[in-house]
Structure 1
Amino acid sequence: MTRRYYVTTPIYYVNGAPHIGHAYTSVAADVIARFKRLAGFDVFFLTGTDEHGQKVEQAAQAAGMTPIAFADRVAADFRDMYDKMAISYDDFIRTTEPRHAAGAQALWKKLEENGHIYLGAYEGWYATRDECFYGEEELIDGPDGKKVAPTGAAVEWVKEPSYFFNLSKFGDRLLELYETRPGFIEPASRRNEVASFVKQGLRDLSVSRTSFNWGIPVPGDPKHVMYVWVDALANYLSAVGYPDQTAPRWDFWPANLHLVGKDILRFHAIYWPALLMGAGLPLPERVFSHGWWTIEGQKMSKSLGNVVDPRDLVAEFGLDPIRFFLMREMPFGGDSDLSRRAIISRMNVELANDLGNLAQRTLSQIARNCDGRLPPQGTHTAEDTKLLAAASLLPQIMHEQIDRQALTDALEEVWKVIRACNAYIDHQAPWKLKKTDAARMGDVLRVLADALRIIATVLQPYMPGSMDRMLTQLCVPDGARDFASLDTPLPAGCALPAPQGIFPRHVEPEAS
């Protein structure tokens, strides 16, 4: 039976250009998707853009464009960012596509049929920037003394006819979900925040607007457009063919993992499961909320002019060093700071010194002392066995961590083995063995080559291009780079290509 895995990023809002926060979520999802593929899973990795709502309509007007032309431009910019970051998505959904409108309207109709939607009138505080309604008690004092949303967004009093989803009826079921399936929301600190919010009591959710028309029309009442979050969340269903449960991709539902930033956790951990419960659909396995980046110690904001385009970092430092830095620097789920110093330190200490140097020393000695051919596997000493055992456990240990979204911890496991390999090569000193015991020198270099093969294989999800080059230098065929292939030893005598450094040290240019 095929093991399936369905992972999503949020669909990103098209009111602005992609930045490092978008890249971070996307690289994390990409690492998970690539890892699962290497482990033999049939993976569906979904991303895309959220293109409706008042905020997009206003951004388009400000740019002197129609909303769809504006959305086309920004969606293309996101696709470009994905290509530059090597994001291996299987589908890119846009909420302006007919297949999505059909899925979102089908979800609405199912909720209506099941008695969860009614017509009323909405009166309350609305923040256009957040596309979110707030209760009076949630507002805080802004810098000018005016009330603002807890996010700092401006709010206005809105009064208009509206359809409502009876969210208030789902509080007990949601609390039972969090209690019986604690892994549904991770990390635990976020789960506690969500549960405490739900315990305070939920109000019914206004799910349509009449004050603008850039959205999906409400079935049977086209004067209303669907509230942008109901529209957006439905993408996870419409992408797998909903409402057609015979669609080829429907087998992927329910999703295994929704990766989201902490700012949109409430929508994914409260609204989304309640909507699915209301529609009688299975719930996703997990919603994981990651942290935010500060930039050189400051919060990232347009007003400070410190919004980072990941493509600029890639142009300067290279793709894989940036992917590695994003996954290595921030404990996944927490917050961290992005600084030039930290990027360069990771590149020079861990990539160039630890891994790059290990590969270069091993491969150059095989080139020089073994006629450039992979030595045969010899009789293993206790030290050899210990090192290879630690390396061979990496796929299993990392898989458990990837399934918990402990992406940083998984990298640390690899680095423990890399550090052990460096200690081993120093201790065994194959350059000395050449003169005293050439056979043992060959055994040592083969142990290092086998350990490097495992290291490069498990690091492919994080640094696909660099590890592709490393596996090529180790004589690993293209079709033998998944985890199952690690059970088959590489043939002795394989001619290795001339070794080439994969991670050069980064040297800052002299200030002129």
Structure 2
Amino acid sequence: MTRRFTITTPIFYVNGAPHIGHAYTSIAADVLARFHRLNGDDVLFVSGTDEHGQKVEQTAKQKGLATQLYADEISDSFRQMQRDMAISTDEFIRTTEERHKATASALWEKVAENGYIYLGAYEGWYSTRDEAFIGEDELVKKPDGTFVAPSGAPVEKVKEPSYFFKLSAFQDKLLKLYEENPDFIRPNGPRREIESFVKQGLKDLSISRTSFKWGIPVPHDPDHVMYVWFDALANYLTAVGYPNMNDPRAPFWPADLHIVGKEIARFHCVYWPAFLMAAGLELPKSIFAHGWWTVEGEKMSKSLGNVLDPKALADEFGLDALRFFLMREVPFGGDSNFSRRSMITRTNVELANDLGNLCQRTLSLVARNLDGVLPEHGPFTEDDQAILAVSQVLPTIMAEQIERKAITEALEEVWKLIRAANSYIDRQAPWALKKTDPERMAHVLRVLVDIIRTISTMLQPFMPDTMDKMLTQLSVDKSERTFKDLDTPLPAGRVLPKPVGLFPRFVEDAA
């Protein structure tokens, strides 16, 4: 039976243009989605934009735009970013779409029907920039005596009628969830922070606003609009057609994995499961909260002028080189630093030298010495068997790493094989065997082609365009590129096209 796999990015808030952090989250989710598809799973990959809330309304007003027009423009920029980064989403949810409004309203009504929503009044601190209510105990006092949110965002005292969600009723249920499902929140750092937050006690949550109108009206009380996070989190249900359980996408719930930045882990790991419990719906299986990106060791900020545009980086270094670097540089989950020097080094050492030279040397020798025809295997030596054993086990090892969301470690497994293959070609020296043992030369080149095929197949989720070209150079048909296809050897006699280098070295322009 085909396994279903549902993966989501957070839906991105339309308060500014996409940057490298948004691209990183999207690429990580895309790698996992592509990996599962190639592994034979039926995948639903969801992304989108979060377009409601006071901050959006204020920003649009500052720009002199109608709020919907402003949201349209920014949402389009996120769609374009994902196209630029080769993100293979199946569903892109906009919270201003009618289908989403219907889902969020249905979720509200179900939670209310079950007795977890009541009308009251909210008086306290609110951060418009964070779109979050801030408790007195969370305020940070500045040297000038004023208070800000933990993020540093300004706060203001608000008092208004509000519907409340009985979050306090779910404290013990959430702690039990975390205890019984150790993989529900990953990695361990965010998990410990969430558990600590919940153990300190949960207060009921204000989930509506009356001081502005840019939001989804509360069912049966249009003077209120839904709190932006109640609205936004419902997008994951919109993607599966909720509340229509006969929707063809309905079987894709619950989600297998929500990938989020750690700054929004609380919303996803506390509020979201509580909303779902209150509605009597199944919970997502896992939430992975990754770290932040710095640039040359400094926090990204508009004031420093160091916010990185992913499209500009892709144009300069190549899209697949950028995708590779973002997944390779730092273990997935931790904080990451974008260093131009590291980007160039990874491109030149690991892509151009390690992988590029392996492919170019092997395929050039096949073209020059075998007229580009894929040879039969000959007798296998111990050296052949050792390197092929590493190659044959690679899909299994990588699948285990991907299951653990160890994306960076999965790439390292590929590079272990690449480094081993470069050592193998140096030891076997097929250029010398041409004179002394041409049959052995042909066999060595066949072993190397088989290994490069495995490498190229397994790297498709990370570098889809380049690996498509690489597999074409190996005469691997488009119908032979899943992981299972590696069990079937390529038939001898296929003609390989003339090889073309796919991994150019990056050379900085002289100043």
Work out whether 1:444 is the aligned partner of 2:440. Answer: no
Give SS of 2:249's match. helix
Corresponding position of 1:292: 292
Work out whether 1:28 is the aligned partner of 2:32. Answer: no
Hey, what's the Cα distance between the residues in 2 that align with 1:38 and 1:396? 13
Corresponding position of 2:311: 311
Give SS of 1:393's match. helix
Hey, what's the Cα distance between the residues in 2 that align with 1:349 and 1:145? 52
Corresponding position of 2:178: 178
Corresponding position of 1:410: 410
Unaligned runs of 5+ in 1: none
In structure 1, give the amino acid aligned to 2:86: A
Q: Encode CA deviations 1:325-362: one digit per residue, 9 max, x unaligned.
A: 00001210101210110110000000000000000000
Corresponding position of 1:225: 225
Q: Encode CA deviations 1:84-116: one digit per residue, 9 max, x unaligned.
A: 100000011100000000000000000000000
Hey, what's the Cα distance between the residues in 1 that align with 2:191 and 2:508? 43
Hey, what's the Cα distance between the residues in 2 that align with 1:385 and 1:475? 24
Hey, what's the Cα distance between the residues in 2 that align with 1:499 and 1:2? 37
Corresponding position of 2:258: 258
CA displacement at 1:145 relative to structure 2: 3.1
Hey, what's the Cα distance between the residues in 2 that align with 1:466 and 1:388? 23
Q: Encode CA deviations 1:427-475: one digit per residue, 9 max, x unaligned.
A: 0111111111111111100000000000000000000000011100111
Corresponding position of 2:509: 509
Corresponding position of 2:394: 394
Hey, what's the Cα distance between the residues in 2 that align with 1:103 and 1:378? 62
Corresponding position of 1:190: 190
In structure 2, give the amino acid aligned to 1:394: L
Give SS of 1:179's match. helix
Work out whether 1:93 is the aligned partner of 2:93. Answer: yes
Corresponding position of 1:60: 60
Give SS of 1:18's match. coil
Give SS of 2:395's match. helix
Hey, what's the Cα distance between the residues in 2 that align with 1:208 and 1:324? 42
Instruction: Map 1:450-461 to 2 at 5 A.
Output: 450-461=450-461
Superposed CA RMSD in Å reads: 0.7
Hey, what's the Cα distance between the residues in 2 that align with 1:441 and 1:210? 77
Corresponding position of 1:430: 430
Hey, what's the Cα distance between the residues in 1 that align with 2:351 and 2:2? 36
Instruction: Map 1:262-411 to 2 at 5 A.
Output: 262-411=262-411
CA displacement at 1:143 relative to structure 2: 5.3
Q: More displaced, 35-44 or 186-195?
A: 186-195
CA displacement at 1:2 relative to structure 2: 2.2
Corresponding position of 2:37: 37
Hey, what's the Cα distance between the residues in 2 that align with 1:59 and 1:497? 54
Instruction: Map 1:201-216 to 2 at 5 A.
Output: 201-216=201-216
In structure 2, give the amino acid aligned to 1:51: E
CA displacement at 1:223 relative to structure 2: 0.2
Give SS of 1:248's match. coil
CA displacement at 1:388 relative to structure 2: 1.1
Work out whether 1:420 is the aligned partner of 2:420. Answer: yes
Corresponding position of 1:76: 76
Hey, what's the Cα distance between the residues in 2 that align with 1:359 and 1:143? 60
Give SS of 2:153's match. coil
Corresponding position of 1:154: 154
Corresponding position of 1:482: 482
In structure 1, give the amino acid aligned to 2:249: R
Contact 1:142/1:152 (<8 A) preserved: no
Contact 1:45/1:90 (<8 A) preserved: yes
In structure 2, give the amino acid aligned to 1:181: N
Give SS of 1:115's match. coil
Hey, what's the Cα distance between the residues in 2 that align with 1:413 and 1:89? 26
After TM superposition, the score normalised by the length of structure 1 is 0.99
Hey, what's the Cα distance between the residues in 2 that align with 1:259 and 1:177? 19
Residue correspondences, number = 511
Unaligned runs of 5+ in 2: none
Hey, what's the Cα distance between the residues in 1 that align with 2:216 and 2:2? 36
% identical aligned pairs:
67
